[in-house]
Each structure stands twice: as C-alpha cells, then as structure tokens.
Amino acid sequence: MSIIYPAILVVVIWFIFNRMGSSKNVRSLKDADFRNEMKNSPTPMLIDVREPHEFQGGFIPGAKNIPLSQLGHRLSEIPKDSHLLLYCRSGMRSGKAGGILMKKGYTQLAHLQGGIGAWKGKISK
C-alpha cells in the first residue's frame, strides 16, 4: 500500500504536466502586445482555435478558425514561415495549440494571454 500512493501521485503530476506543460515555450502576450504583433508582423496569421460554434459567436477580425480538435489534420493550411498568433476563449487551448505547433516545427508563435475574454479590440460576428 505504501508504494501505491506515491505511484498515483507521480501519475497525476505527469498528467498535469503533459496537459499544461506544452505551452511553456509559447510566448504569451497581453492584449496590447498581441495587437501590436498583429499590426507589425510581416507575415501574421491569426488563428482562433475554438470550436466552430464558439467562433460563430464572435471572433477577432481576420482570424481563421482552426479548432484545436482539428489542428493535427489541418496543418497544411498553416504556412511554416508565417508569424502565428493564436487565441481561444481563455488562453488554455491556444497555449496547447502552440505547443503542438512547436513540436511540428513552427517557430514564430505567440498566443493571447487570457484569450478572447481579455481582448479589448473589435469583435466580428
């Protein structure tokens, strides 16, 4: 019994690290910095990683909807030489998406800290 509890603890910690840890190398930008990168990047691509029904409720103008759940199948739509600016509802999925893209060789990545909830700019519908 004394080995079971530490083993369970290790599994739980590993699970949490793998679920959250993939975004640790993706730059997390506050609203003003995110907008600045949208304007000043030579090859920006704005990607909303929320599900389509969330996207239809309102999105940042110019965003392409590539849900996190479809990201692995839609990599051909994302040029590797573009500066990728990712966002979701709260920042969790966009951070995860950034981690996935980094593993696939994408290097110019940033995501909106706090997601669209932190966005102070215009929203399209």
Domain boundaries, the chain: 4-118
Amino acid at 77: E
**Mind telling me the catalytic residues?**
88
Query: Is CATH 3.40.50.300 what the domain over 4-118 is classified as, yes or no?
Result: no
Q: pTM of this prediction?
A: 0.81
CA 61 from chain centre, in angstroms, equals 17
**Calpha distance 7→13 (Å, rounded):** 10
Percentage of the chain beyond pLDDT 90 is 76
**Calpha distance 21→10 (Å, rounded):** 15
| pLDDT of 120 higher than 80 | yes
Return the ∠ at Cα 37 (arms to 20 and 21), rounded to 5°: 10
Mind listing the pLDDT tens digit for each residue in 41-82?
A: 888 999 999 999 999 999 999 999 999 999 999 999 999 999
| pLDDT of 40 higher than 90 | yes
